[in-house]
């Protein structure tokens, strides 16, 4: 009950109305399109999210492995097991990226396309929504990404 006292009255009203709001968005097609637009779920959303998670896991396991190896303290059996499993995950994902089994091109293209100014950059196709790279820009970005992934795999 103490939690309710800390909430503002407007938030309590929104929390009370939340089941009805969720029901409206789920049950009506017009509202479904609206919630997709509000939340930002667009084309290739699943692929973009999977690419983001894959790169996040690679960078965090790589950082954790480097940190644990450089720390140099005596490792317990659980820490060694965790380090070995992180190494297996890290190496497996790197091999999948190096062999192009996991396609991160959609994620990389989206990051680059949304990072540059669409009005002044020659990398973006004009008047195309959502933003897309030109074919020449896609080839150069993917070439740079594949070289960087290979260097990251070796290092």
DSSP tag of 119:
T
Note whether 66 and 139 are same-domain residues: yes
For position 73, what pLDDT does the model report?
A: 65
DSSP bridge partners of 133: 124
Note whether 7 and 82 are same-domain residues: no
Taking only the tens place, the pLDDT of each residue in 67-108 is 877 876 666 777 777 778 888 888 888 778 777 777 888 888
Q: How many domains does the chain have?
A: 2
pTM for the model stands at: 0.64
Note whether 67 and 23 are same-domain residues: no
> CA distances (Å), 95 to each of 99, 102, 108, in order?
6, 9, 18
């Amino acid at each position: 009950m103490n939690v309710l006292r800390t909430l503002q009255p407007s938030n309590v009203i929104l929390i009370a109305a939340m089941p009805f709001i969720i029901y409206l968005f789920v049950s009506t097609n017009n509202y479904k399109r609206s919630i997709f637009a509000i939340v930002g779920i667009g084309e290739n959303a699943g692929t973009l999210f999977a690419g983001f998670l894959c790169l996040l896991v690679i960078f965090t396991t790589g950082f954790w492995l480097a940190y644990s190896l450089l720390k140099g303290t005596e490792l317990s059996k659980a820490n060694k097991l965790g380090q070995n499993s992180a190494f297996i995950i890290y190496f497996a994902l790197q091999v999948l990226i190096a062999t192009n089994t996991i396609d991160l091109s959609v994620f990389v293209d989206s990051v680059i396309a949304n990072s540059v100014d669409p009005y002044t950059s020659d990398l973006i196709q004009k008047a195309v929504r959502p933003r897309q790279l030109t074919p020449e820009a896609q080839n150069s970005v993917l070439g740079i990404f594949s070289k960087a992934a290979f260097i990251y795999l070796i290092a």
